Structure 1
Amino acid sequence: MSSALSDLGGRRPSYRERVADALRAALIAGELRPGEVYSAPALATRFGVSATPVREAMLDLAKEGLVDTVPNKGFRVTAVSDHQLDEYTHIRALIEIPTTAGLAVTADPVALEALRPVAEEIVTAAAAGDLIAYIEADQRFHLGLLALAGNGHLVEVVRNLRQRARLYGLTALVEQGRLDASAEEHLELLDALLTRDPEAVRAVMTRHLGHVRGLWAAH
């Protein structure tokens, strides 16, 4: 898997969001580790950009709870405890399971089918051991699915929960092929939605969220 902190090629401060995305990817890949303090100038050197967009991006991540500011030093990557992961999973279950089950009745089949290529990307990324691609496609799939319910605030709440429960350092699990089963559940979920079976959807979503939490616990 290629480094998440690859050179961005002389980006300007206007690339703040791109830098923030790369920082999130680095957290997922375990290149930025919980408890470690990183200075904006040092990260800027690794990115190949000035310190300004890195500092701004880190401030954005601080608002999301992913890092804490350390005066005169930089930013410390926050750790996520098992208790916090349990809380995030519980909230996601309360929101996503009934909302997704409801889509079995209300969602346009064409809109659902449009998510199939994204689900297939997830499967491909898991098979290739590309964790960053997996997480990126997984987020597009789940948020895209929830968007079909027509509640933008709900989507943003789940987006925030996913960011806080970042899956950093799961390289070992990828190498063991343990993401494959979770990846396949996305296609199973789509099929249940398209057959208009709310109970089947509820069962798949319940298993899927439990599976994801199990991967975190294994890590």
Structure 2
Amino acid sequence: MEQGAARERATERPSPPFGDAARDAEEAVRVPEQARAESARAGTARAESARAGTARAESARGEHTHGEPESPGVAPAPVPARAPVPAPRVVRHSVRGQILDALRTALVGGELVPGEVYSAPALGERFGVSATPVREAMQRLAVEGAVEVVPNRGFRVTERTPRELAELAEVRALIEVPVMLRLARTVPAARWAELRPLAEATSTAAARGDRAHYAEADRAFHRAVLSLAGNEQLLAVADDLHRRSQWPLISAPVVRHGVLVADAAEHTALLDALIAHDLAVVESLVREHFTGSNA
């Protein structure tokens, strides 16, 4: 009887509720899943943050990745302004070139007297520049034979004699006459007619008695004629000889007005002969033009 009662009491003792155990089991499973989900969300957030940072960095560099939205609220980095381009400096060579032209004009016009010595500082003061560009220009004129270097004093203007001018004229004729005759046979008349304004410029300067401007117009006319030969070396040699022949004579530093007018008239006559292809007149005019004066 006692054993049977004990078995009945054992049977009646309540066992642990099934619902609590299930919930514990489910919780045990759910906690790792939540942890993994939270970890995944945190990883996604970090990835989004990294992409946003990259986009901001690319925007600052002026880059953009297509297909990705730009980060809102991020102002683009300002583009640095370019440094201003400095104004071109006036180099000494330009100043020297201007002084060289001014000195040549003074030589042709007789302002610089043959035989006189001129110092670079004094000429620099006259032209409003330092002595250096004047000295460099004078060195160039010395190469051309217009002046001579006088140690510790300056530069002496060359005393060009009539014999020297005659020799220069002979050399010019030897070079230019054959070229002129060849051009007279080949260049069409319309091309020669285009040079009339240059011939007229020499006549205008001659009528005014402007020796310096006449010298420039005269060289321009001869360069235009010889340029039709297409030989740059010929132009350089002929122009150098032409300049040397333009320095004033010792006895007549300023060429007479009538001589300039006669020389200018020969330019027009030469064009007429070239247009007519009259070779005999062309040769005669060129030789007389060189030997008749120092223009």
TM range (shorter): 0.7 to 0.9
**TM-score, normalization by structure 1:** 0.85
Find the partner of 1:53 among 116, 129, 133. 133
SS in 2 for 1:27: helix
Name the CA distance, whole Å, in 1 between partners of 2:283 and 2:151.
Answer: 46
Match of 1:200 among 275, 281, 285: 281
1:72 counterpart (119, 135, 152) = 152
The corresponding residue for 1:141 is 221
Deviation of the 1:172 alpha carbon: 5.4
SS at match of 2:259: coil
1:186 matches 2:267 = yes
User: Are residues 53 and 110 of structure 1, via their aligned partners in 2, closer, same or farther at CA, if it must alter by over 3 Å?
Assistant: farther
Query: Equivalent residue for 2:119?
Result: 39
1:27-82 Cα offsets, whole Å, 9 max, x none, are 11111112111111100111111212111111111111111111111111111122
Q: CA deviation at 1:12?
A: 7.0
Q: TM-score, normalised by structure 2?
A: 0.64
Contact conserved, 1:92 with 1:161, CA < 8 A, in 2?
Answer: yes
Distance 1:189 1:28 in 2: 24
> 1 or 2 for the larger relative contact order (CA 8 Å, sep ≥6)?
1
- Paired with 1:68 and 1:122, the residues of 2 have a C-alpha distance of 30
Counterpart secondary structure, 1:178:
helix
Task: Give the letter aligned to residue 210 of structure 1.
Answer: T
1:171 alignment partner AA: V
Q: In 2, are the aligned partners of 1:113 and 1:190 still within 8 Å (CA)? A: yes
The structure whose Rg is larger is: 2
Secondary structure of the 2:293 match is: helix
CA contact (8 A) 1:68 1:76 kept: yes
Counterparts of 1:98 and 1:123, CA distance in 2: 25
CA distance in 2, matches of 1:82, 1:163: 15
Partner of 1:104: 184
Percent of counterpart pairs with the same letter?
Answer: 49
Q: Does structure 1 conserve the Cα–Cα contact (< 8 Å) formed by 2:99 and 2:134?
A: yes
* 2:161 pairs with 1:81: yes
CA deviation string 1:181-200 (max 9, x = no partner): 21111011011111122222
Q: Does 1:115 align with 2:198?
A: no
Counterpart contact for 1:12–1:49, Cα < 8 Å: no
Distance 1:33 1:191 in 2: 37
Paired with 1:200 and 1:87, the residues of 2 have a C-alpha distance of 23
Count of paired positions: 202
